[in-house]
Chains A and B, each alone.
Chain A
Amino acid sequence: AQSVTQLDSQVPVFEEAPVELRCNYSSSVSVYLFWYVQYPNQGLQLLLKYLSGSTLVKGINGFEAEFNKSQTSFHLRKPSVHISDTAEYFCAVSDLSTDKLIFGTGTRLQVFP
């Protein structure tokens, strides 16, 4: 069975600063990895996904993530955040034999002016 750990429940950061949101996963099989964002009062929206190939994945809104198989991590990064990036971010995993997503508990990114 898979599991996802997001160690940081909240990450405060000033506008235009870089940010990294951490995600570690556990699985005995190959996985697909995802980052979703949930803006206030909105549904979950896919930021980016890793399926195979290049370990550096670029997504929407300037976000990117790097898959590290040896460390079982998929950390999300952005070099310069904006106020509008304030939201809840969820890391998720699915394996190659199932469609269900296993989510972490989320990280609330709060960007201050």
Chain B
Amino acid sequence: GAGVSQTPSNKVTEKGKYVELRCDPISGHTALYWYRQSLGQGPEFLIYFQGTGAADDSGLPNDRFFAVRPEGSVSTLKIQRTERGDSAVYLCASSLSSGGQNEQFFGPGTRLTVL
């Protein structure tokens, strides 16, 4: 079956521009997570959705970052006024349901480069 997919795989943008990163979770998975992985670091939690609502957005670094999941499936991570420090690989994961014991299945990531 299909895993978690993310588009685009690579995104190059200029400082100050707006970007959207898309995540398609595994069908039937109600929980969806966004992480950010900077070079040489482990993934860092950004936000987690249970259904359509953001259950925990404590990892969003500032108000330039926003994520939605309007129909409880696909999610979009939106970054306004991008900065060079936003350059990283953005990872999406999904799990069958909420609960820390459930396996999170990760997508291949979107590599964002801000020039």
* Interface set of A (CB-CB < 8 Å, partner B): 4, 6, 32, 36, 41-46, 49, 51, 90, 92, 94-106
- Count CB-based A-B contacts (< 8 Å): 68
Whether a CB of chain A sits under 8 angstroms from the CB of B40 is yes
Set A43, A95, A98: member contacting B106, Cβ < 8 A: A43
Say whether B103 faces chain A, with CB atoms less than 8 Å apart.
Answer: yes
A6 CA / B40 CA spacing, docked (Å):
12
- Residues 11-36 of chain B: 1 if any A CB is under 8 Å from the residue's CB, otherwise 0? 00000000000000000000101010
- For the complex formed, measure the closest distance between the CB of A12 and the CB atoms of chain B, giving whole angstroms: 17
Cβ-defined partner of A99 (8 Å) among B42, B44, B100: B100
Q: Is B98 an interface residue (CB 8 A)?
A: yes
A sample of 15 cross-chain residue pairs with beta-carbon separation below 8 angstroms, ordered by A number, consists of: A44-B91, A44-B93, A45-B106, A49-B101, A92-B42, A94-B100, A99-B31, A99-B50, A99-B56, A99-B98, A100-B56, A103-B42, A103-B44, A105-B40, A106-B40
Once A105-B40, A105-B41 are accepted as A-B contacts, the answer to whether A98 and B56 lie under 8 Å apart by CB is yes
**Do A106 and B42 touch (CB < 8 A)?**
yes
